[in-house]
Amino acid sequence: MLGKQLYWEDVKEGEEITPLPKIATTAMLVRWAGASGDFNPLHYDRVFAEAAGVGQPIVHGALKRQWLVQLMTDWIGDQGWLKQFSCQYRAMDIPRAMRSMADPVDGETWMCKGKVTKKYVEGDAHCIDCNIWIENGKGEITTPGKATVILPARG
């Protein structure tokens, strides 16, 4: 188990979701390119990124999206269901360069965060609405979103 199962009764409106820290390195973006099938050089080729007007390779929006999906699936546990999810890629994030084969240079850590906005029952589903977002190293929100989950009830 990742942790103990979260139940609907245990969640309060306004409470924070357990934050999920993430880093992104150039090596991790190449891995993502292979795993996702998105081989746009914008994400790993500096010369291409400069020519495209972005300046330097940027983190894939879809990778940031999946960080936020993990924020939710980690929080809701095996018996929770992610019902609805949305996010917008509002600002560019820059990966850390590599210092060695295995280690990145010091730099930014992103924080995936969320807050419970509403708790309700719909039919027989015990639902929770959340605002979710990613903050960059400066604390700026680059990727805001929303999620609705169904949690088990103790009933």
Partner 1 sequence: MQSDEISQVIDKNVGVRIFEVEKGAIRRFADAVGDSNPLFRDEEYARKSPYGSIIAPPGFFGWPTKHPMGAPLVIDFPDEVMQPLMKSGYMAATALDGGMEYDFLVPVYAGDTLVSSTVVKDIRERSGRTGKMAFIILETTYLNQNGAVVAKARATTILRSTTV
What is the nearest approach in angstroms of partner 1 to the Cβ of residue 75?
12
Please tell me the distance from the alpha carbon of residue 59 to that of residue 96, in angstroms, as a whole number. 10
Please tell me the distance from the alpha carbon of residue 83 to that of residue 120, in angstroms, as a whole number. 14
What is the nearest approach in angstroms of partner 1 to the Cβ of residue 134?
12
What is the nearest approach in angstroms of partner 1 to the Cβ of residue 131?
15
Q: Which of residues 77-96 bind partner 1 (CB under 8 A)?
A: 78-79, 81-89
Give the residues across from 58 on adjacent strands: none
Check residue 69 for interaction with partner 1 (CB under 8 A): yes
Region near partner 1 per CB under 8 A, out of 26-34, 93-101, 114-122, 123-131: 26-34
CA distances from 6 to 17, 79, 94, 130, 150 (A): 11, 8, 34, 15, 11
Q: Which two tokens stand for residue 35?
A: 């795993």
Q: Reduced to 3 states, what is the DSSP secondary structure of residue 60?
A: coil
Please tell me the distance from the alpha carbon of residue 132 to that of residue 78, in angstroms, as a whole number. 20
Check residue 114 for interaction with partner 1 (CB under 8 A): no
Q: Which of residues 39-68 bind partner 1 (CB under 8 A)?
A: 39-40, 42-43, 60-63, 65-67
Q: What are the residues binding partner 1 (CB under 8 A)?
A: 2, 22, 28, 31-32, 34-40, 42-43, 60-63, 65-67, 69-70, 72-74, 78-79, 81-89, 145
